[in-house]
Amino acid sequence: MKAKQHNHIGSVIQRIAKQKGISNVELAHRISCSTANVSKIYRKPSIDTDLLFRIAKSLEVPVSVFFENETHIPLVKFRLDEDQFRDVTSSLSDLSELVLLLKILLSLFNKGYSDGG
């Protein structure tokens, strides 16, 4: 029997780091945190956008890779001011990443709106 695969955002980050041969120590160094915090990130079901973009940059992957092949969108806590949003969108490598980001934002907005948030 195949083990159940976790689909929360932390496990996706851990899988990508492992695929790239990046240790917890190296990732911690790249995102300026402790190895204990990296372990906590791997267990997180949600993550702040600022941290997610720092991790994507440190792993040298587009942020959209964290949402590929998912049947649901992992929970990401969006807290971006106008300047941060401009920085994020200017770092997207192509139009498809921008479209994916907009779909994610729309999905989160609709979920929050329908939940009364």
Taking each continuous run of H as one helix and of E as one strand, the counts in the chain are 6, 2
CA angle 51, 32, 61 (to 5 degrees): 50
Token look-up 């192509």 returns 94
The pLDDT of residue 100? 76
pLDDT tens column, 7-17: 678 888 999 99
pLDDT tens column, 52-80: 888 998 998 888 777 766 544 444 555 56
**Which residues are paired to 75 by β-bridges?**
46
Cα-atom radius of gyration of the chain, to the nearest Å? 15
Sign of CA dihedral 7, 10, 15, 20: positive
